Amino acid sequence: MTSPGSPPPVPKRRLLDQVRDTIRLKHYSLRTEETYVHWIKRFIYFHSKRHPREMGGAEVTAFLNHLVRTRDVAAATQNQALSALLFLYRDVLAEPLAWLDGVERAKRPARVPTVLSVKEVAALLARMTGTKWLMASILYGAGLRLTECLTLRVKDVDFDYRQIVVRQGKGSKDRRTLLPEAVVEPLKAHLARVKKLHERDLEQGFGEVGLPDALELKYPNAGRQWGWQYVFPSYKFSADPRSGVIRRHHVYENYVIRGVKEAVRGAGINKHVSCHTLRHSFATHLLESGYDIRTVQELLGHSSVETTMIYTHVMNKGGRGVRSPLDRVEEARASYAAGAAG
């Protein structure tokens, strides 16, 4: 009971709000926030809405095993759920879990990435126009992930040095990659149109873009500056999912995803192709052109060269670069036939 005149007690934050606060304090992406909240909710509902403080490693193990046994989830999906729950107990509840020895891990199948040939990339891009063509060309020509392309800022495109600076890529790492010569002039023309759009937004009292981390507090006016604007802005305003502020966000990911899928169908390419396939193709084609694997690793932003090595297995040289003996037999047969005819 509070004494007269004392301030009312501050209500305790709900668990999921605490999760969101902690994620934002650590500057994790919105996508990570949504994923972690999703899995924590599913964990709580699986155990009949018991509070996680009342549970521990045994309940986490039971939930993860349920995902494998009953839901038959992929290894990556189970790892997502595990990461979310480890974050919950370690960073939010400050009750780190001991190593979960009883977890049945989903098996991660060894898959070789889908790669397009140079002719197939040409056929795909030939069936795209405008901004969709430009984005797909940068995905392939610079080896960007889709999110990296969507969140690209004007200031991070360096026309003089022909390079793109990727900020906070996978693992929150920055890197530099190349700016293809083929997109320089189309990209300059695109940015001229985007700048006019930004100037019109400023005149209407908008024109402020969201900034990463706590830069909005440190530099209150930076969000209105041209350099911080998205290279590929949305055609409409929307509410910021975290602050609720009405802004022009970057273009929605489905815009280019649908464009690539339509181009794949139009080109008659009978492979499972996504936007990420263009990044795989970028790496493979560089290696086929003789570039050093360490250079390719740096351009892709891989932490380990072993990750980049996967592309050596899909290069256009047959299985692991081995020449089939049938081809030598056919050459010998052709040579023998030619000699007999002579």
Catalytic residue, chosen from 247, 248, 249, 279, is 279
Catalytic residue, chosen from 24, 41, 167, 170, is 170
Q: Which of 152, 211, 209 is nearest to 179 (CA)?
A: 152
Q: Which of 278, 199, 215, 211 is nearest to 240 (CA)?
A: 211
Active site residue 190: no
The Cβ of residue 319 has, within 10 Å, a number of other Cβ atoms equal to: 8
Cβ burial 115-127 (10 Å sphere, 16+ → b, else e): bbeeebbebbbeb
Phi and psi, residue 165, nearest 5°: -100, 120
Active site residue 294: no
For residues 29 and 20, the answer to whether their CB atoms sit within 8 Å is: no
Active site residue 145: yes
For residues 190 and 272, the answer to whether their CB atoms sit within 8 Å is: no
Residue 108: what residue type?
A: R
Catalytic residue, chosen from 247, 248, 250, 302, is 302
> What is the C-alpha separation between 104 and 65, in angstroms, rounded?
6
What is the CA angle 295-285-109, rounded to 5? 90
Active site residue 302: yes
Catalytic site positions: 145, 170, 276, 279, 302, 311
